[in-house]
Amino acid sequence: MRSRRLRPLPDLVRPPVGVLFVGINPGIRSAETGHHFAGYSNRFWKLLYEARFVPEPIGSGDDARLTEWGYGLTNLIARPTPGIDTLRRDEYEAGERILRRKIRRWRPVLVAFVGVTLYRVVSGARGATKIHCGLQPDHFEGARVFVLPNPSGRNANFSYAEMLRVFRALARAVRSRKL
């Protein structure tokens, strides 16, 4: 059986960008459908709605609509994989350089890293450093930084209620302009 080549997902950005959501890399289902956070067990879209980021329920097929509300989507690494275990160090390094250029060009108010692992990589906080979700004291290429739990169904470190609490905290910060 011949496997088809999976293409990277396009960035979904239209400046000005209030919040740029950054994922680590697209999953296979996202690459197959051409839409961000399309995994069957991914709760990203449900969390956005329940946290009141978006005024109506939307799903991965509506991902381009995020730009209507001043949000954008990109990934650190463009290559789709079934999980992050096959990503190479050189891909992380190249992805970070590219992401930094994108952020300097798009100038989002806030960068929301979708996943503690992703933030660990780009912040250099490897090892035993405890990362807390929420607004971070540092900046990334001039943008404020917020860490969200990874909404993948594979993430057993956070319950749905805990994820929703963090997504709501970000939504409150955005609405109150306390960024």
Tokens of 45: 């879209």
Query: At the topology level of CATH, where does 19-176 sit?
Result: Uracil-DNA Glycosylase, subunit E (3.40.470)
Q: By 3-state DSSP, what share of the chain in percent is helix, strand and coil, each rounded to 5?
A: 40, 15, 45
Q: Where are the domains of the chain?
A: 19-176
Handedness of CA 152, 47, 8, 2 (dihedral sign): positive
Cβ-based neighbours of 28, under 8 Å, separated by 6 or more: 6, 80, 81, 82
The structure's pTM equals 0.93
In order along its 179 residues, the chain shows pLDDT tens digits of: 334 578 889 999 999 999 999 999 999 999 999 999 999 989 999 999 999 999 999 999 999 999 999 999 999 999 999 888 899 999 999 999 999 999 999 999 999 999 998 999 998 876 657 889 999 998 999 999 999 999 986 766 889 999 999 999 999 999 887 55
SS3 (DSSP) at 135: strand
Q: Are 69 and 33 in contact (CB under 8 A)?
A: no
Q: Give the pair of three-digit tokens for residue 142.
A: 């001039």
Token representation of residue 140: 């990334």
**Nearest 10 degrees: CA dihedral of 43, 48, 50, 56?**
-110
